[in-house]
């Protein structure tokens, strides 16, 4: 569906609005399964289920790990299931999950519903939007991914105040139903009126068929590239979870952190838009060597200078790099393994991200219990970033030399 002509963002939206809108809405809908969204209702859900905060945290960790394994099973199906049918199935499962959590009188079904939200929201909806944009565009792939990526920070910015306003007059269940209803209406319009592309390949039922696609877990390039793709989610998960300890050690105020967190979301917009344009102009492999520099400098500044300014620099540097990370990462996957198998390869990436972000808080928790200062933790994150960057240079060079797909 992509043209061979390099388009501006305005031209891209004019010529391919339906496809961009579908991919963007998928990423935005994924916010319903993200930790920040569910965390806003954590107290209400715990009271509804009559469980403690610790029990909720344990259950949440378990269903998150399970959803990671399931993404590896359901994610590759987008390579041979038509996109309209695929997203309709995921939306249906997500709707069932919300209704089970908010309506079921049985504890077990509520937890199962929460698991469906994590799988279909954080996992499959986000995976679908990024895969669709990365696969259907070639000349304008960077800009398309840049636009689609904005669905996540848009939700992070607008959903919390909307929820806060609605919570004054409505129960938490009614808030969820209202948000879900608006999304369903938007999806019905897109499903009916968008010119959807077909699946890129057919599933071969014959198990002896040799064209089964790549096996990234048996490919050294995947393991060398993976740490660089995971470094931002891993480190930021630790920062978000232990922000209270970080502000104390860096002699910053919690208010500053709250404001800077909003700044992180805003900084993702120029990061994604500029990164998308630069990918199309200079190539993803060039950007892949540079996009972590703002976060690396921010980690160093926060660890050595600290204070409120250190928090601001850390959040803005993270937001800028985070905005570029998904378009760059997905473009590298296409260059290395091809567009027809992007769903398969990207589902593995998504699954490992889920696993790693589940392990990271536990690891940092042990370090904090051992009285390791957050300045040292930030420097450790910087070391991890540098090592990940060095490991990724081989796959980046190979992606640069591979034929454009």
Residue 395 and residue 342 in one domain: yes
Please give the distance of CA 100 from its chain centroid, rounded to a whole number.
Answer: 24
CA–centroid distance for 395 within its chain: 22
Same structural domain for residues 62 and 96? yes
pLDDT at residue 4, as a whole number: 60
Answer yes or no: do 124 and 236 share one domain.
Answer: no
pTM for the model: 0.81
Query: Does 185 reside within a domain?
Result: yes
Which residues 6+ apart lie within 8 Å of 264 measured at CB?
315, 316, 318, 319, 322
Q: Is 58 a member of any domain?
A: yes
**Crossing angle of the two packed helices 53-74 and 42-49, in degrees rounded to 10:** 100
| Domain closes at, from 193, 228, 245 | 193
Q: What CA–CA distance (Å, rounded) separates 236 from 361?
A: 10
Q: What is the pLDDT at residue 206? A: 45
Indicate whether 207 belongs to any domain.
no
SS (H, E, C) the chain: CCCCCCCCHHHHHHHHHHHHHHHHHHHHHHHHHCHHHHHCCHHHHHHHHCCCHHHHHHHHHHHHHHHHHHHHHHHHHHHCCCHHHHHHHHHHHHHHHHHHHHHCCCHHHHHHHHHHHHHHHHHHHHHHHHHHHHHHCCCCHHHHHHHHHCHHHHHHHHHHHHHHHHCCCCCHHHHHHHHHHHHHHHHHHHHHHCCCCCCCCCCCCCCCCCCCCCCHHHCHHHHHHHHHHHHHHHHHHHHHHCHHHHHHHCCCCHHHHHHHHHHHHHHHHHHHHHHHHHHHHHCHHHHHCCCCHHHHHHHHHHHHCCHHHHHHHHHHHHHHHHHHHHHHHHHHHHHHHCHHHHHHHHHHHHHHHHHHHHHHHHHHHHHHHCCCCHHHHHHHHHHHHHHHHHHHHHHHHHHHHCCCC
Q: Which of 162, 193, 224 is the last residue of a domain?
A: 193
Q: Is residue 198 part of a domain?
A: no
Are residues 114 and 229 part of one domain? Answer: no
Q: What angle do CA 245, 49, 26 make, to 5 degrees?
A: 70
Q: What is the pLDDT of residue 45?
A: 86
Do the domain assignments include residue 79? yes
* Structural domain harbouring 80: 9-193
Residue 209 maps to a domain: no
**Within this chain, do residues 265 and 319 fall inside the same structural domain, yes or no?**
yes
Asked if 179 and 269 sit in the same domain, the reply is no
Together in a domain, 231 and 307: yes
| Residues 39, 56: Cα–Cα separation, whole Å | 11
pLDDT, position 341:
73
pLDDT < 50 regions, the chain? 205-210
How many structural domains does the chain have? 2
Are 360 and 298 found together in one domain? Answer: yes
What CATH number corresponds to the domain at position 54?
1.20.1250.20
Residue 242 lies in a domain: yes
* Cβ within 8 Å of residue 223, ≥6 positions away: 217
Do 366 and 250 belong to one domain? yes
Find, among 366, 295, 36, 242, the residue nearest to 250 by Cα: 242
Q: Is residue 204 part of a domain?
A: no
Asked whether residue 153 falls in the same domain as residue 238, the answer is no
Q: Same domain, yes or no, for 39 and 176?
A: yes
Same domain, 397 and 287: yes
């Amino acid at each position: 569906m992509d043209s061979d002509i390099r388009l501006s963002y305005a031209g891209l939206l004019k010529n391919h609005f339906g496809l961009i809108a579908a991919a963007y809405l998928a990423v935005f809908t994924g916010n319903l399964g993200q930790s920040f969204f569910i965390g806003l209702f954590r107290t209400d859900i715990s009271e509804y289920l009559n469980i403690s905060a610790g029990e909720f945290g344990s259950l949440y960790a378990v269903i998150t790990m399970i959803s990671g394994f399931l993404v590896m099973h359901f994610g590759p199906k987008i390579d041979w299931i038509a996109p309209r049918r695929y997203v309709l199935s995921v939306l249906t499962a997500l709707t069932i999950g919300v209704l089970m959590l908010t309506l079921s009188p049985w504890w077990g079904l509520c937890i199962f519903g929460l698991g469906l939200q994590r799988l279909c929201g954080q996992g499959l909806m986000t995976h679908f939007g990024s895969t669709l944009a990365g696969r259907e565009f070639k000349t304008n792939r960077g800009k398309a991914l840049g636009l689609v990526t904005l669905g996540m920070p848009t939700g992070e910015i607008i959903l919390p105040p909307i929820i806060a306003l609605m919570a004054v007059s409505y129960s938490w269940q009614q808030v969820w139903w209202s948000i879900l209803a608006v999304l369903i209406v938007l999806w019905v319009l897109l499903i009916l009126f968008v010119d959807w592309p077909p699946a890129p390949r057919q599933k071969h039922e014959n198990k002896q068929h040799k064209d089964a696609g790549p096996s990234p877990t048996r490919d050294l390039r995947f393991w060398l590239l993976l740490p660089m793709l995971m470094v931002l989610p891993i480190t930021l998960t630790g920062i978000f979870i232990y922000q209270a300890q970080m502000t104390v050690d860096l002699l910053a105020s919690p208010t500053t952190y709250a404001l800077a967190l909003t700044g992180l979301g805003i900084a993702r917009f120029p990061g994604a838009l500029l990164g998308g344009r630069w990918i199309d102009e200079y190539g993803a492999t060039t950007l892949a060597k540079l996009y972590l520099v703002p976060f690396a400098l921010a980690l160093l500044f926060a660890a050595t200078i600290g204070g409120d300014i250190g928090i601001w620099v850390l959040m803005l540097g993270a937001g800028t790099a985070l905005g570029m990370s998904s378009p760059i990462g997905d473009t590298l996957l296409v260059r290395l393994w091809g567009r027809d198998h992007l769903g398969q390869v990207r589902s593995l990436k998504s699954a490992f991200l889920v696993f790693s972000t589940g392990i990271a808080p536990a690891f940092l928790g042990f370090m904090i219990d051992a009285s390791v200062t957050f300045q040292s933790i930030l420097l450790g994150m910087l070391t991890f970033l540098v090592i990940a960057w060095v490991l990724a240079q081989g796959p980046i060079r190979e992606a640069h030399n591979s034929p454009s797909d």
